[in-house]
Amino acid sequence: MASPCQSCGACCVSYRVTLPRAELDTSPGGWVPATLTDPYTPTTACMREHPETPSRCIALAGTVGQWVSCTIYAQRPSACADFAPLAMIGIGDEACNEARRRCGLPPLTGL
């Protein structure tokens, strides 16, 4: 069964994703493409926003609520990998369901 995340993407257009600069591929051992990020604080970066859709992560492909894909899935920040870990089996947490609410999608209740 497909993960609900594959037809959602709400979190990727709702929240700014920040990450330690140590996760950037320009740092030793880092993996997140630095070219898709902007400086945020002296020790952190953030995923760049889409130029035409502020708050939408530049790495998100597809249409929210229909079909989406993270184009850097294997290299996404740890904040993304750790977000709402049970959503993939249909159980959203507060932040997941708030993002879905903002996008007009129903909560994931696990039912």
Q: What share of the chain is helix, strand, coil (3-state, %, to 5)?
A: 30, 25, 45
**Start-to-end C-alpha separation, the chain:** 15
CB of 5 to ligand SF4, least distance (A): 3
Instruction: Verify binding: residue 19, ligand SF4, rule CB under 6 A.
Output: no
**39, 45, 60, 63: residue in contact with ligand SF4 (rule CB under 6 A):** 60
**Among the residues of the chain, which ranges form H helices?**
10-14, 78-81, 94-102
**89, 100, 102, 107: residue in contact with ligand SF4 (rule CB under 6 A):** 100
Nearer to ligand SF4, 24 or 57 (CB): 57
